């Protein structure tokens, strides 16, 4: 196992982003640097958050205040409290050390500071892990013998930084004169030397995504479920384009087990609403899409070939459900790329038989989830996600990484609720509970003492052509028991 990975996240630190400089070669302020459609400083904050940063401070030119504030608000997936600090002109004139001195004045006493120039955004997570290993002195990443960025500075050097800024000296000189031993940390990461001071530098590191796909990653990170819509219809040609794009998703064994029923008729929408947990968004949206797990295509093709479909088993059921999920996500992403917004509707599983009848589905077709789409009117605060180390494991799964991520996830969810309430950026229109972390929120639906949800599904699916799921004795619980949606622990 890579030991370095486990160290990131263990040692509290604060990230100080230096973005107050002018980028002469880029012809704009450094804070405006973008990578794959995302401001470089947001990417840095995300990386630092994933490595366990407590807080982030971002230095900017006072003149960039408004632009910087908007960009910070747009850092949708940053699970970190970050603040902008305007650097006074006299300090800014001193260069990066002046900005650093201004940030140190606002930093949390006692925490080591990861000093990160905004034009070095391509630093790997592994490098951060190495820098954050224990040690008293400043730590500098070294690639092929050359020292780079970011640098971890102990707070004991605050005074020296301030004096250097006043005297017009550099950070390098502070390190040279440091009473603490400077630790040069060898890393395998050319990103520590990569100064993105030209447009061509931004997306071309080995292994960086193709800049041509730049906007896509930003779009994916900016996702939020939208639940309130303007009444204007989705133009038919746009809907066709979206479905056309989405149907090119991968499909297990080329079985193409997916289809979609678009409902725009008011009366039918009202009935869909009644069957899917009476969620208001279904009435507001100009279109509801029943995303179907569809083995009918394959069955018809086999019949045409003089054969028939084998009795659906667990594998076939999964094939169809997976195809539907891949198609659905492709579709929502295409819609978001076109300026629309939407929300999946797991409430479709409350009354699968009645919904199938309403949509005229043949046997071997059912709706595991729907999707409402439209021009969004709401502005919910992005919910964020588990920190990357709990999701991306290398070579083998690290349960320690999951354990380390959970307290931060709980705190992130509480801060999300606080901020969403304060700014009125809610999921539905009701206030959120600010006291509950992620785990406590999951308890309501998935806690060990909870009964299985939607116990009617095996029987209903058997009736729809997926008989292997039927239980020996049919369940008796009324599916309406779960209305599919409390104000915040949303249904799915
Ligand atoms: C398959 C699926 C079904 C869902 N069903 C519902 C639903 O019925 N009602 C709802 O309000 N949200 C539903 N959601 C949205 C989730 O609640 C939402 O994705 C999650 O809370 C994360 O929020 P975000 O999408 O804004 O990042 C569903 C999501 C998925 C993936």
Token couple for 93: 């004139």
Looking at the fold, whether 202 and 142 belong to one and the same domain comes out as yes
Mapping DSSP to helix (H, G, I), strand (E, B) and coil, where does residue 86 land? strand
Instruction: List the alpha helices (DSSP H) in 387-465.
Output: 399-423, 438-446, 457-463
pLDDT tens profile 112-123: 999 999 989 888
User: Given 342, 374, 406, which residue is the final one in a domain?
Assistant: 374
Q: Kindly report the average pLDDT of the chain as a whole number.
A: 87
Question: Position of tokens 């104000």?
Answer: 487
Give the N- to C-terminal CA distance of the chain in Å, as an integer: 36
pLDDT of 489? 47
What token pair was written down for 383? 């919910």
User: What does the pLDDT read at residue 56?
Assistant: 94
Average pLDDT over every residue of 248-256: 96
Closest protein CA for atom 7 of ligand 1: 345
67 and 167 together in one domain: yes
Count of beta carbons in the 10 Å neighbourhood of residue 52: 22
Measure 491 CA to ligand 1 centroid, in angstroms.
6
Range of the domain at 96: 3-220
- Contacts of 26-30 with CB under 8 Å at 24 or more apart are 26/197, 26/198, 26/199, 29/60, 29/61, 29/63, 29/64, 29/67, 30/117, 30/118, 30/119
485 CB neighbour count, 10 Å cutoff: 22
Q: Say whether both 314 and 398 belong to one domain.
A: no
Which of 315, 343, 374 is the endpoint of a domain? 374
Structurally, the chain folds into a number of domains equal to 3
pLDDT band at 320 (very low <50, low <70, confident <90, very high): very high
Residues 238 and 97 in one domain: no
| Residue 211 within a domain | yes
Residues 95 and 154 in one domain: yes
The whole-angstrom separation of Cα 94 and Cα 169 is 8
Q: What are 355-409's pLDDT values in tens digits?
A: 999 999 999 999 999 999 999 999 999 999 999 999 999 999 999 999 999 999 9
Answer yes or no: do 184 and 233 share one domain: no
Q: Pick the residue with more confidence: 472 or 48? A: 48
Cβ contacts of 177 within 8 Å, gap of 6 or more: 160
**Alpha carbon of 108 to ligand 1 centroid (Å):** 37
- Ligand 1 pocket, Cβ-based, cut-off 6 angstroms: 223-225, 227, 279, 343-347, 369, 383, 484-485, 490-492
Same domain, 342 and 452: no
pLDDT in tens, 412-453: 999 999 999 999 998 888 899 999 999 999 998 899 999 888
Of 220, 243, 262, the domain-final residue: 220
* 397 and 281, same domain (yes or no): no
Q: H-helix or E-strand containing 369?
A: strand 365-374
| 225 CA: nearest ligand 1 atom | 26
User: By alpha-carbon position, which residue is closest to atom 4 of ligand 1?
Assistant: 492
How far is residue 430's CA from residue 459's CA, in Å, rounded to a whole number? 35
């Amino acid at each position: 196992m890579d030991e370095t990975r486990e160290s990131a996240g263990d040692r509290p630190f604060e990230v100080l982003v230096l973005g107050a400089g002018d980028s002469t070669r880029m012809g704009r302020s450094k804070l405006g640097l973008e990578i794959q459609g995302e401001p470089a400083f947001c990417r840095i904050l995300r990386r630092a958050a994933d490595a366990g940063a407590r807080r982030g401070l971002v230095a900017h030119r006072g003149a960039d205040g408004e632009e910087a504030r908007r960009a910070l608000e747009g850092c949708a997936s940053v699970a970190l409290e970050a603040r902008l600090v305007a650097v006074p002109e006299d300090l800014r004139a001193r260069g990066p050390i002046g900005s650093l001195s201004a940030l140190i004045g606002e930093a949390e006493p006692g925490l080591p500071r990861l000093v990160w120039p905004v034009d070095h955004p391509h630093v790997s997570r592994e490098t951060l892990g190495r820098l954050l290993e224990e040690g008293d002195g400043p730590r500098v990443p070294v690639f092929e013998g050359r020292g780079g960025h970011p640098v971890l500075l102990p707070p004991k050097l605050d005074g020296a930084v301030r004096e250097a800024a006043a005297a017009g000296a550099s950070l390098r000189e502070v390190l040279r004169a440091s009473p603490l031993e400077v630790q040069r940390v060898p890393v395998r990461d050319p990103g520590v030397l990569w100064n993105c001071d030209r447009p061509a530098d931004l997306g071309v590191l080995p292994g960086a995504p193709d800049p041509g796909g730049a906007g896509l990653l930003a779009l994916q990170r900016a996702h939020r479920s939208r639940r309130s819509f303007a009444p204007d219809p989705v133009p038919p040609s746009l809907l066709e384009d979206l479905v056309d794009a989405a149907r090119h998703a991968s499909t297990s064994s080329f079985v193409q087990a997916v289809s979609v029923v678009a409902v725009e008729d008011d009366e039918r929408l009202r009935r869909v609403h009644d069957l899917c947990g009476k969620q208001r968004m279904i009435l507001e949206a100009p279109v509801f899409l029943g995303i179907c797990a569809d083995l009918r295509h394959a069955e018809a093709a086999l019949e045409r070939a003089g054969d028939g479909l084998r009795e659906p088993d667990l594998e076939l059921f999964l094939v169809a459900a997976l195809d539907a999920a891949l198609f659905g996500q492709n579709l929502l992403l295409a819609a978001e790329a076109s300026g629309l917004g939407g929300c999946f509707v797991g409430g479709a599983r409350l009354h699968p038989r009645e919904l199938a009848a309403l949509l005229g589905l043949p046997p071997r077709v059912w709706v595991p989830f729907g999707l409402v789409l439209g021009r969004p009117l709401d502005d919910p605060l992005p919910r964020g996600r588990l920190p990357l180390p709990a999701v991306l494991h290398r070579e083998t799964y690290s349960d320690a990484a999951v354990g380390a991520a959970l307290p931060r996830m709980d705190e992130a969810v509480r801060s999300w609720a606080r901020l969403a309430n304060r700014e009125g950026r809610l999921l539905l229109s009701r206030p959120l509970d600010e006291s509950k972390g992620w785990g406590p929120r999951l308890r309501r639906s998935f806690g060990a003492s909870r009964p299985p949800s939607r116990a009617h599904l095996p029987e209903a699916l058997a009736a729809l052509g997926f008989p292997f799921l039927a239980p020996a004795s049919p369940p008796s619980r009324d599916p309406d028991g779960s209305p599919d949606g409390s104000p915040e622990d949303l249904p799915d």
